[in-house]
Structure 1
Amino acid sequence: MKTVSTADRPNVSLRDAATLVALALKRTTNKAGQPRIRARMSSKTFKRLTGRRIGGANSAKEFTEELSNLGWLMVRMPSAYGFVRSASLTKWPLTKSNVIAKELEQIGGESEAKALDDARRELGGSIDVGGPSNASDASNRAEGKKKVVR
C-alpha cells in the first residue's frame, strides 16, 4: 500500500481540502468492503492529506460548510477529527422536548437559573461523549453492571 510522504503533501484551499477529505472518507470501507458512515482521522493524517490544519473559527466554518456540501459532517476532537455521513442522521432516533419538560416548566416559571444550574450539574457527571447519560447509568457502571441498550 502506497502512503503519502510528508514531502508530497499538498497545500490546498479549504474547499479542495474538503474534497480530498470527503474522497478519503468515501473510499474508506469496513471489513466487509462496505462504505463507512462514520470514521475518525488523526490530525496528523488530516495535515498530510491537505497540507493544512483547521485554524480559527472562520476556517473551521468554511471547511465544515464545504464538507457538508459533500455529504459529511465533522466534529473536532483533541487529536483527531470525527466524521459522519450526513445521510445517516435520518436513521437516528429523534429526541423530543418532553424529556426535559420539568426544566422547560422551571424556565417558564422564572426559575431559569436553577434549571440551568441543575442541568449543568447533571451534565458534569458525564466526562466523555460515550459516558453515562444519567445518574442511574453512572451508579450501574460504578457497581460494574452492564448498561442495557434498548
Structure 2
Amino acid sequence: MDTVSATATPNVSQGDAAALVALALQRTKNKAGEPRTRARMSYKTFRRLTGRRIGGAKFVREFTAEMMNLGWLMVRMPSAYGFVRAASLDKWQLTKSDAVAQELKLINEGAVAEALDIARQELGEHGHVGKSTNAYAAPIPRKKPGAMDK
C-alpha cells in the first residue's frame, strides 16, 4: 500500500476513518490470541489507512467522538496514537480523594496556591513534571500533616 503524501486529500470521512481504525484495533490480538484492550497506531499507519492526518481541534473532537461511539478512547502521543477500549476502564482501580486529603483541606481553606506548590514539588521529585513546566529551581518546603492545623 502506498503512503499518503502530506498534502493528500482525505479519502474517507471521519466516521469511516474511525471505523477503519476500530477494525484494525479489534483485529489486533495479544500473544494468547485475545483482543487487546489497548494499542498504539503510528501516524504513518493512520495516514495509510485513512488518507488523513489528525489535524485541528475540530477534527480531533469529531474523530474521538466517533471512536468513543465505537468503544475506543484515543490519546495523541509523540510518535503515535494510543487507543484504549473504553469498557476496560471499568476494571481499573478508582483513585479516591483521601490520596489528596491534605491538598483538599488547603483548597477548602482558600490556599489553592499552596496546594499546587505541594503537587508540583511532589510531581517534580518523582520525575512527573517535565523541565519545561517545572519552574521551581529550589525545593519548596512541604508541611507535615498536622502542621497546617494552627
In the superposition, the TM-score normalised over structure 2's length comes to 0.77
Q: Which amino acid aligns with 2:101?
A: A
> What secondary structure is seen at the aligned counterpart in 2 of 1:6?
coil
> What secondary structure is seen at the aligned counterpart in 2 of 1:44?
helix
The structure that is helix-richer by fraction is 1
Structure 2 regions of 5+ residues with no counterpart? Answer: 130-150
Deviations 1:66-101 (A, max 9, x none): 000000001100110111111111111011111101
Partner residue, 2:2: 5
> What secondary structure is seen at the aligned counterpart in 1 of 2:53?
coil
Partner residue, 1:117: 117
Q: CA deviation at 1:6?
A: 2.3
CA separation of 1:128 and 1:18: change in aligned 2, threshold 3 A: farther
Is this contact kept in 1: 2:3–2:44, CA < 8 A? Answer: no
**Higher Cα Rg: structure 1 or 2?**
2
- Aligned Cα root-mean-square deviation (Å): 2.0
Distance 2:81 2:74 in 1: 7
> What secondary structure is seen at the aligned counterpart in 2 of 1:78?
coil
Structure 1 regions of 5+ residues with no counterpart? Answer: 130-150
Distance 2:3 2:109 in 1: 59
Aligned pair 1:60/2:71, yes or no?
A: no
Deviations 1:131-150 (A, max 9, x none): xxxxxxxxxxxxxxxxxxxx
For these two proteins, the number of residue pairs brought into alignment is 125
Q: CA deviation at 1:117?
A: 1.9
In the superposition, the TM-score normalised over structure 1's length comes to 0.77
Q: What is the 5 A alignment of 1:102-141?
A: 102-127=102-127
Identity of aligned residues (%): 67
Partner residue, 1:86: 86
Is this contact kept in 1: 2:42–2:80, CA < 8 A? Answer: yes
Aligned pair 1:43/2:43, yes or no?
A: yes
